[in-house]
Amino acid sequence: MSIIHNDLHQFSNYIPTINLSFHQYLLLTDEPILVHTGSINQTETLIPKLKEVLGDKELKYVFVSHFESDECGGLSLLLKNFPQVKTICSEITARQLIGFGITDKVIVKKAGEKLSGSDFEFEFLGYPSEMHLWEGILLMEKKRGIFFSSDLIFGMGEARGKIRNGNWKEEISNITPDQIPNPEKRLQLQQSLSQLNPAFAAVGHGPCLKFNY
């Protein structure tokens, strides 16, 4: 684990056979939020590290951008260890979680909605990443300028603790049809992203990005 940006902690696993890193993040605000759980095996490794970083703080939220194993595969295990945690996700993800018996303390958010606390302000964007391009959500923390990009910004290789300089406009324009096959939904997302000015992108895979304007 490492502090990757101010009070943002990164937890990483690298799988050499597929040459890919998987990142989860803890934003250590007064009401700490975990971004993604990783797979069940990754969550088993994550939990003691989380408890060490949290200290006497309680984990308040876990954010799930979309329903996939590396985003929420370990959610049931996380909730056993942190039963007070509230899961933030899209309506579609919430419906899928019901099928796995996860029905308590779920906060459903839509594009354009916000969630604020004493020292954070989250804004949510639509993310057509689900099965059949159903809507997931992306997370922007406005006070710190951190954009949690999930699979939208993607890089291969061992990337624990790595940061590269990026160009926000280029990242938006580089969203490919492979990532979002529907041209209308892809354009809509690009237009939404163009309204943001993040200082930092916490990615799901690959090096994180620092932006200069």
Q: How far is CA 104 from CA 112, 116, 153, in A?
A: 24, 21, 31
Would you state the pLDDT for residue 134? 79
Count the Cβ atoms, other than its own, within 10 Å of residue 106: 17
Sheet holding 33-35, edge to edge: 2-5, 8-15, 20-27, 33-35, 61-63, 86-89, 106-108
User: Do 100 and 168 form a contact (C-beta atoms < 8 A)?
Assistant: no
Q: Mind listing the pLDDT tens digit for each residue in 50-105?
A: 999 999 999 999 999 999 999 999 999 999 999 999 999 999 999 999 988 888 88
Would you state the pLDDT for residue 130? 58
Would you state the pLDDT for residue 102? 86
CATH of the domain at 51: 3.60.15.10
Lowest model confidence (mean pLDDT) among 77-91, 169-183, 187-201 = 169-183
- Using CA atoms, how far apart are residues 189 and 129, in angstroms rounded to an integer? 11
Q: How far is CA 136 from the centre of its chain?
A: 11
Domain coverage including residue 69: 2-211
- pLDDT at 131 exceeding the cut of 80: no
Burial 75-90 (b: 16+ CB within 10 A, else e): bebbbebbeebbbbbb
- pLDDT at 38 exceeding the cut of 90: yes
Q: Mind listing the pLDDT tens digit for each residue in 138-152?
A: 999 999 999 999 999
- Using CA atoms, how far apart are residues 63 and 140, in angstroms rounded to an integer? 11
Would you state the pLDDT for residue 158? 96
- Using CA atoms, how far apart are residues 67 and 151, in angstroms rounded to an integer? 12
SS3 123: strand
- pLDDT at 1 exceeding the cut of 60: no
Among candidate residues 162, 150, 148, 164, the one with its CA nearest the CA of residue 211? 164
Would you state the pLDDT for residue 129? 78
Pair of tokens at residue 16: 């050499």
- pLDDT at 132 exceeding the cut of 70: no
Mean pLDDT, range 171-183, rounded to an integer: 91
User: Do 124 and 111 form a contact (C-beta atoms < 8 A)?
Assistant: yes
> Based on the structure, what is the number of domains in the chain?
1
Mean pLDDT, range 114-124, rounded to an integer: 95
Would you state the pLDDT for residue 135? 86
Would you state the pLDDT for residue 101? 86
User: Do 135 and 91 form a contact (C-beta atoms < 8 A)?
Assistant: yes
- Using CA atoms, how far apart are residues 105 and 67, in angstroms rounded to an integer? 17
Would you state the pLDDT for residue 92? 92
Mean pLDDT of the chain: 94
